[in-house]
Structure 1
Amino acid sequence: MLKMNKGGGGMVGGAGGVAGPTAAAAAAAAQKQKTLLQRVDTDVGGLIDNFGFLVNVARVNDPPVRNSQESFMMEMRAARMVQAADSLLKLVSELKQTAVFSGFASLNDHVDQRTDEFNKLTEDTNSILTRIGEETAASLKELEHHYYSSTIRTPQP
């Protein structure tokens, strides 16, 4: 279920002081949310108004002219209700598409973030392995020097 915040546009503290594409994306998202909320309010308001009018007009009167006028008004109001309901259905479809595509964008951002983390770990591991290799080479050189200069290496008569 999608919950929309009718308060201040859903953004706490604006774009957080971040300039550039992130601020533009946040502003665009806030504007889109405001537009969607206005569409929902308009469509739901139209449904309620037209339904209320249908209920008020749905009484039976004796004069036939009045009944035909009321019938025409009821058909017109019912058509407007159908239009408002269709608009709400389109809005729901648009919200679903937005959720799917923004979900993919979020997933891609997460994958990129994890890739960067793993690349950093790879660099750290390579530098550690390089340092260990250098220390091992220095220790091996020192041990070779001690071995070749020791009395144990030379054969005893």
Structure 2
Amino acid sequence: MAMKWFLTEKIMNKGGGSGPTAAAAAAAAQKQKSLMQRVETDIANIVDNFSQLVNVARLNELPVRNSQEAFTMEMRASRMVQAGDSLLKLVSELKQTAIFAGFASLTDHVEQKTTDFNRHAEKTDRVLARIGEEAAASLKELEALYYSSERRS
């Protein structure tokens, strides 16, 4: 249960500023479901094979029965190794997913910041244009007052 929670948190928490698109969220949810099924299957295989391995591990007097049990034990041990290998591959895949999801999240964050800065730059340009227009109007008014004043002479 703790493993399931950990994997859910690792897959769904990408960090970063902006959220993924609906398609990316659906793909992430599908990938999470697939990975969780693999984890549950592999762990169930390991537990089942281990319990069968322990059950078969008793000694009998019949040589044929002992060789059958030895073969069964080898088969169960082999299946446990395969399930463990599958879990190791899953861990590797999770690491790659985390790395690439981090890059995607970083790219989304950079794009969002770029958009924010462009919006801020446009707002600043509008404010500066308005200040320039007000300064030009004030300058005209001051020139008119200066040229019409008595102190000019």
TM-score range, shorter chain: 0.7 to 0.9
Matched, 1:3 2:2: no
Match of 1:139 in 2: 138
Matched, 1:52 2:51: yes
The CA deviation string for residues 13-50 of structure 1, in whole angstroms up to 9 with x for no partner, is xxxxxxxx933322222221111111111111100010
User: In terms of Rg, which structure is larger?
Assistant: 1
**Runs of 4+ more than 3 Å apart:** none
Residues in 2 aligned to 1:104 and 1:22: alpha-carbon distance in whole angstroms: 15
TM-score by length of 1: 0.83
Residues in 1 aligned to 2:54 and 2:151: alpha-carbon distance in whole angstroms: 112
Gaps spanning 5+ residues in structure 2: where?
13-19
Match of 2:15 in 1: none
The CA deviation string for residues 110-156 of structure 1, in whole angstroms up to 9 with x for no partner, is 111111111111111111011101101110111111111111111xx
Aligned pairs, how many?
140
Matched, 1:29 2:28: yes
Alignment of 1:77-92 (within 5 A): 77-92=76-91
Residues in 2 aligned to 1:82 and 1:4: alpha-carbon distance in whole angstroms: 22
Alignment of 1:1-157 (within 5 A): 3-5=6-8, 22-154=21-153
Which structure carries more helix by proportion?
Answer: 2
Residues in 2 aligned to 1:23 and 1:129: alpha-carbon distance in whole angstroms: 39
Secondary structure of the 2:150 match is: coil
Q: Pairwise CA RMSD of aligned residues?
A: 1.7
Percent identical among aligned pairs is 69
The CA deviation string for residues 42-74 of structure 1, in whole angstroms up to 9 with x for no partner, is 111100010001111111111111111111111
Residues in 1 aligned to 2:106 and 2:54: alpha-carbon distance in whole angstroms: 49
Secondary structure of the 1:3 match is: helix
